[in-house]
Every structure is written in structure tokens, then in C-alpha cells.
């Protein structure tokens, strides 16, 4: 394979770090665009990788950073915003996508991979899913781009915001009130998501396609939490909350530092994040889905004190 240059937005995030490693191993050169180079310090050690400071909302600056690239991958996404008006989601998902599409046109980049989410739709119940859906529509309407869209369920792996995050909460809390306990998810491995993106780069047949990504298991949120407890050998009291108390909890946690759960998260959880019948993007891409049992035990049991410190430091951008 001839070496190609790939620009990655969101490369310092959970999926981005794994994807950049896979890209380098596959022989690509990688340019990670970031607001501050220190945010991407975990990628500094990678060969054939440069971390470039860039205001991705500045059209000329972004176009200059994309010039000479063979493809652009946009992984940027937020799960919460300041307040609950949708403006933060609109900026991160819709406005940024508009900027990237325009910059690709200006820089002459044709190939574009876009990270979305299961249930993304302009008419979805949450700001998160609505703006993800609006961004998808922008990508599809950009006829000059050779684009591919990926729509994963919740993503798991080392340092994730799912199994590992609940593990950290339950390391201190003897009781956990659990909103949306019956919401269903189809957790997909971060390595499989990265592999799907990598596969698409080398396969022209993926141009113009959408790929919904999920793992082999469907689990409720309560099952996800209890699985982590079993792995850890912990005894904790889990209190599943009904819809009314879930709303109350969301109202309270909306105002806590870090916004561990929000009103918009609650609205997103109204829709099960599972693959539609007969739809399996990993299978279509000939990727064998990794089960939770193959990854999560090592993620949780391998989280020693140093690993926990590094994980917390990374989340705090220090």
C-alpha cells in the first residue's frame, strides 16, 4: 500500500488514540489537529504522527492544515454541553462539520470519514442525537466528498466512559441510584470501531455508505453496571429508578461538576442504542465483533493505582 496522509480531528480522544495507533501500524502518516498540542501528548510517541495546533472553526486555518492530506477523519463529539439549550451540541457537531466540509473543498481533499451515533436523526429526542443527525445530513449533501458515516452504539475499552467510569464511581459509593436502568445498549469495542474506519480507508466500496456498529451482546444499563461489579467481586446496592425519579436524578446531576448525567443524556436513553434488525456494519466490513468478556475484565482488573492516576489525569487534560 502506498503511504497516505490522514488528518484526524478528535485524535486525542478515546477512539482517536486507538485509531491513530492503528493508522500508523497500517503505514499511514497521521496529522492530528488539536486546539492545544498538550491535549494530544499521548500521541507524541507515535512514529509518522504530527500534532498540529489548529482552530478548526477558522476556515482558512483549517483548510491550510488539511492541504496535502489524502483523507480527513472527523471523530469530534461531545456528550454534554454547558446548559441545556443545544448550542454546544450545535457548535461541536453541526457547525464543525460545516467547517470541515468547506475546508475539504478548499484544500482539495475528497475522502472523508465521519463519526456519528446510533439513533442520530434530525427528529431525535435529544440535542445530542438531533445534532448528530443534522451533521449526517450535511455530509450526505456534500456531493463532492467521497464520504463514509459510522454510527456506533456505546463504545467500550481501556479508559472508557462506560464500564471504567462506573467502576470508578462504585469504588467509593456503596449505593448507586441508577437512572434509565432498563435502557438497552449494544456495546462495541473501541478497537473494532477503529478497525472499521481503517477498513473503509482502503475500500472504495464504502464510499457513500453508512455503517451502524454494535458488538455481539445487547445489555441493559443495569446489566452493564452489575457485570462490572461481578468482575471486581464487589457487593454494591444498585437502585434502578423509574422514569419520574430518573428525571429528578438528571435534574440534580445536571448541575454537578463534570455533569455525570444530564437531562439530555436522559432524553437520549429513551431510545435503545441497538442495531436495527438485519443491520450489522462490522459484519458487512468483515470484522468479527469483540465481546465484552474479552476486553472488560482486563480493563477493570488491570486498573491499578498508577493506571487510575493516568486515566484521571488524561480526563482532566493534565
- pLDDT tens figures, 64-73: 999 999 999 9
- pLDDT bin (cut points 50, 70, 90) of residue 302 is confident
Q: How do strand 71-74 and strand 5-9 relate by DSSP bridges?
A: parallel
pLDDT greater than 90 at residue 314: no
Distance CA(86)–CA(88), nearest Å, equals 6
Q: What is the domain count for the chain?
A: 1
CB of 197 within 8 A of CB of 73? yes
284 within some domain: yes
210 within some domain: yes
**For residue 35, what is the domain's CATH number?**
3.40.50.720
16 within some domain: yes
Predicted pLDDT of residue 76: 98
Cut 0.75: pTM above it: yes
125 within some domain: yes
Distance CA(251)–CA(269), nearest Å, equals 15
pLDDT digits (tens, 9 = 90+) for 244-259: 999 999 999 999 988 8
Distance CA(105)–CA(107), nearest Å, equals 6
43 within some domain: yes
Mean pLDDT of all residues in the chain?
93
pLDDT digits (tens, 9 = 90+) for 92-115: 999 999 999 999 999 999 999 999
Q: Read off the pLDDT of each residue in 31-58 and give the average, rounded to a whole number.
A: 95
Q: How do strand 175-178 and strand 237-240 relate by DSSP bridges?
A: parallel
Domain that holds residue 99: 5-155+188-214+274-289
105 within some domain: yes
pLDDT digits (tens, 9 = 90+) for 156-204: 999 999 999 999 989 888 999 999 999 999 999 999 999 999 999 999 9
For residue 102, the surrounding DSSP H or E stretch is helix 96-107
296 within some domain: no
229 within some domain: no
Residue 297 CB-half CA count within 13 A = 6
Amino acid at each position: 500500500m502506498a503511504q497516505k496522509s490522514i488528518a484526524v480531528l478528535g485524535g486525542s480522544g478515546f477512539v482517536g488514540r486507538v485509531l491513530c495507533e492503528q493508522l500508523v501500524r497500517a503505514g499511514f502518516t497521521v496529522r492530528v489537529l488539536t486546539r492545544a498540542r498538550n491535549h494530544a501528548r499521548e500521541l507524541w510517541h507515535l512514529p509518522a504522527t504530527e500534532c498540529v495546533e489548529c482552530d478548526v472553526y477558522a476556515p482558512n486555518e483549517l483548510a491550510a492544515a488539511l492541504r496535502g492530506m489524502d483523507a480527513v477523519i472527523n471523530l469530534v463529539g461531545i456528550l454534554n454541553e454547558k446548559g441545556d439549550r443545544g448550542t454546544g451540541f450545535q457548535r461541536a457537531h453541526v457547525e464543525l462539520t460545516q467547517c470541515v466540509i468547506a475546508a475539504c473543498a478548499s484544500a482539495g481533499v475528497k475522502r472523508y470519514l465521519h463519526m456519528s451515533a446510533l439513533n442520530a436523526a434530525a427528529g431525535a429526542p435529544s440535542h445530542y442525537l438531533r445534532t448528530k443527525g443534522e451533521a449526517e445530513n450535511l455530509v450526505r449533501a456534500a456531493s463532492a466528498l467521497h464520504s463514509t458515516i459510522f454510527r456506533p452504539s456505546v463504545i467500550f475499552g481501556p479508559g472508557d466512559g462506560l464500564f471504567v467510569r462506573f467502576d470508578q464511581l462504585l469504588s467509593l459509593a456503596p449505593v448507586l441510584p441508577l437512572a434509565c436502568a432498563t435502557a438497552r445498549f449494544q456495546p462495541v469495542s473501541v478497537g473494532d470501531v477503529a478497525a472499521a474506519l481503517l477498513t473503509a480507508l482502503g475500500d472504495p466500496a464504502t464510499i457513500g455508505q453508512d455503517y451502524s456498529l454494535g458488538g455481539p451482546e445487547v445489555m441493559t444499563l443495569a446489566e452493564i453496571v452489575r457485570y462490572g461489579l461481578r468482575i471486581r467481586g464487589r457487593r454494591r446496592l444498585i437502585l434502578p429508578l423509574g422514569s419520574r425519579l430518573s428525571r429528578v436524578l438528571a435534574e440534580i446531576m445536571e448541575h454537578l461538576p463534570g455533569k455525570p448525567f444530564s437531562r439530555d443524556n436522559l432524553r437520549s436513553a429513551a431510545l435503545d442504542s441497538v442495531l436495527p434488525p438485519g443491520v450489522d456494519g462490522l459484519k458487512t466490513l468483515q470484522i468479527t465483533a469483540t465481546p465484552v468478556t474479552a476486553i472488560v475484565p482486563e480493563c477493570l482488573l488491570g486498573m491499578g493505582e498508577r493506571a487510575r492516576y493516568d486515566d484521571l489525569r488524561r480526563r482532566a487534560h493534565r
